[in-house]
A = this chain, B = another copy of it.
Amino acid sequence: MHPLTGDARLPRYQQLRDHMVMQIANNRWRPGEAIPTEAALAAEFDMSVGTVRKAVDVLVAEGVLERQQGRGTFIRRPQFQSSLFRFFRFETANGERVVPESRILAITAVPAPSAVAQALGLGAQAEVIRMQRIRLLGAQPVLAEEIWLPRQPFQALLEVDLDSKGPLLYPIYEHLCGQVVASAEETLTAEAVDAVHGRLLHLPADSPVVVIERLARDYAGKPLEWRRSRGHAQHFRYRIDIR
């Protein structure tokens, strides 16, 4: 048995939810691992299974946990590889969906521009890593990305050949730097392409492009990465259900 340490004025299921978020943020369990059974948690915190279930319900609704009947409840690994592809459709000539290849144009450590420092919650002049890359379908560039990371936990990225590790950065962040992206905020805008990105994307002047800015955070809510991606509007389509 083990007392909860949170704000005792909150309902017990909320206290348990907060406690579990903290455990996850502190890497007590890794993505894909099972948390203790509902009965075990009820015994540990001296509450009924119904109250444990309510705390777990909240975390499932928040996308942090995933239930599997008969097997257990697991830390959900966010599926960010498909994130851009909720916005952009890339297909081969035969109509098959494909993940564009990645080519890194530049990766360097620089003092953070003030907008980047602010987005990442860093002090002025903190060191950041700046990565520029393009995503290609065959020889055709389809996305241009600039990516900013705090230097300290991501230093290792400067010391490896990223292009050899495939186009998906978040698994690299996890394995190379121990940083797990758990949530993100994205902002969509659209504009006529500027000269720089027109050249990068091989687009005529004034072509419409969609811009996606993304701030990615870990389980504790700490900003890990700020990214801006641009792609031709022709590939863009996004669907929303509302009530």
Contacts and interface: CB of A to CB of B under 8 A. Distances in A.
A241 interface: yes
Given A62-B243, A64-B243, A243-B78, A237 B192 contact: no
Contacts of A210: 190
A-side interface mostly:
strand
Determine the interface band of chain A, counting residues with CB < 8 A from chain B.
20 to 34
Interface stretch (A40-48, A114-122, A177-185): A177-185
A188 B240 contact: yes
A68 interface: no
Interface string A183-214: 11111111110000000000000111110000
A174 to B, nearest CB: 16
Nearest to A237: B189
A212 to B, nearest CB: 9
Interface of A: 61-64, 76, 78, 83, 182-192, 206-210, 233-234, 236-243
